[in-house]
Amino acid sequence: MFTKSFLPILLFAFLGFHKTFAQDSLVQNAVQDSVNISKLDVEDKTHQFSFKKLILPTALISYGVASLSVKELKQLNSSTKDEIKEHQPDHIRLDNYTQFVPAALVYGLNAFGVEGKHNFRDRSIIYGTSMLITSAITVPLKHVTKEERPDGSNYLSFPSGHTAIAFASAQFMFREYKDTNFLLGISGYSFAVFYRSLQNA
């Protein structure tokens, strides 16, 4: 008798609880979906193309192109070359390796547990692609510009492939660590600048 009288009540309570639980679950899913959509909106805004980002590279590239044809800039290049020839020390072999230091640091840090943004496979693909693009741009430009090296050894001085690789490696390190450790991410540029100073030495 007790069981029969309370059975409808228990059934009603169970159905009510189940309905409430289902509604709560739907509300939680809706809130989570709205949060995910908001995150996607923020990410889309951060990855939107901006012409402002092109101002500095365009200015630097324009100066480089102008220095190949404008008389005053060509004279400045010539006088700089003459000055370098007078004070040029023996070639430093260290600069052949420092260009790769930021990329080597990324792999070394990951091996010691300081994880970057990507796993080993993805970061290797990214870095390899970066090196291919860098080489595909710098090598043909060398043959187009035919700029003489300061030591007069050949006409493949500009743009500097070693410097391009050094800064591409630094950018690779920055992209890997900018979100988790910003200071560590930008530290790669110090090696690129050090490399460039060795080139000028």
Helix or strand run (H / E) with residue 40: helix 2-46
* Per-residue pLDDT, 84: 65
- The pTM for the full model equals 0.59
More confident residue, 49 or 168: 168
The secondary structure of 115-174 as a DSSP string is --SS-HHHHHHHHHHHHHHHHHHHHHHHHHH-PPPTTSS-S--SS-HHHHHHHHHHHHHH
Q: What is the pLDDT of residues 77-136, one digit of tens each?
A: 777 777 666 666 555 566 677 888 899 999 999 888 888 889 999 999 999 999 999 999
Which amino acid makes up residue 88? Q
| pLDDT band, very low/low/confident/very high, at 187 (cuts 50, 70, 90) | confident
**Which two three-digit tokens encode residue 25?**
């679950």
Nearest to 105 by CA among 34, 173, 174, 193: 173
Least confident of 1-5, 40-44, 139-143: 1-5
Q: What is the pLDDT of residues 15-50, one digit of tens each?
A: 454 444 445 555 455 556 555 555 555 555 556 777
Question: In the Cβ-directed half-sphere of 53, how many Cα atoms lie within 13 Å?
Answer: 5
Cα separation, 123 vs 120, whole angstroms: 5
Average of per-residue pLDDT values in the chain: 75
* Per-residue pLDDT, 15: 47
